[in-house]
Amino acid sequence: MEKETTNYQLILGKLESKASLKQEIYRNTVDVFAIAKKALSKLASRLHQDYTQKDPSVEVAYRDTHQFEAELKFSGDMLLLSMHSNVFNFEEGHRIYSSSYIKSNPCLSYCGVIYIHNFLADSIKYNRLADEGTLIARILVNKEKRFIVEGEGQLGFLYEAFSEYEINEEVLTHIFELAILNCMEMDLQLPPYASVKDITLHQKQTTLAASGYPTGKRLGYLFKSEVQQNNSL
């Protein structure tokens, strides 16, 4: 009976130290995600107003697609903003544990996650399910609404330590601007002709006919040799 009571008290303690903590972080991340959507929408409006008058053929549009998702289309690119519904901690040995901020309270390392992916706009338009996107950055938010960013280019080092302040719309706008610039610097590259010259009839009648050439910025497009190589991995 004493052991059962001890275990029960341990469960109550874990609920207080883990479950309630994660619920608080989830609520914080939901709040930040709402601000992120607002920032992305405003940025889209500015870009649309300032550039489409120069070239109406370049489409800039924001769309709130889901409770946990929004997208910004700019010409041939799509910035996909999404929030994970779960809360995470860092792997053992991560550099974050060496900071005085985390040492002062280990609970501060738990974070909600907001992702910024880059897809080709045509991948979404034509529902090309085989197309690959690229993770440009992820924003990690803790119980104090302080944040770090892991990502490509400048987003890989500008916000690598937990901020001294809560994340806000101005910071999120800056993150999105850097993400857009990163997307625009990555161009589609043609793979070597010899590696894509063969195509099976099955591919032509199914994959290609149904959704177009499977495409991603880093892979160009896939034909027979790539499929065979991928299958051998």
Q: Which two tokens stand for residue 70?
A: 């929004």
Q: What is the CA radius of gyration of the chain?
A: 22
pLDDT of residue 126: 77
pTM over 0.85: no
Residue positions counted in the chain: 233
Determine the average pLDDT of the residues in 40-67.
Answer: 93
d(CA 46, CA 49): 5
* Strand 111-120, strand 134-141: pairing: antiparallel
* Strand 69-74, strand 215-216: pairing: unpaired
* Strand 60-66, strand 134-141: pairing: unpaired
Per-residue pLDDT tens over the stretch 10-36:
999 888 889 999 999 999 999 999 999
Higher pLDDT, 185 or 141: 141
d(CA 74, CA 153): 20
| Contact partners, residue 211, CB within 8 Å, separation at least 6 | 126, 127, 128, 129, 130
| Contact partners, residue 128, CB within 8 Å, separation at least 6 | 122, 211, 212, 213, 214, 215
Share of the chain above pLDDT 90, in %: 61
Query: Has residue 204 got a pLDDT over 70?
Result: no
The CA angle 25-154-218, to the nearest 5 degrees, is 95
| Contact partners, residue 198, CB within 8 Å, separation at least 6 | 223, 224, 225
Lowest model confidence (mean pLDDT) among 40-54, 140-154, 164-178, 194-208: 194-208
Q: Tell me if 118 sits within 8 A of 217, measured CB to CB.
A: yes
Residue 122 confidence class, pLDDT cut points 50, 70, 90: confident
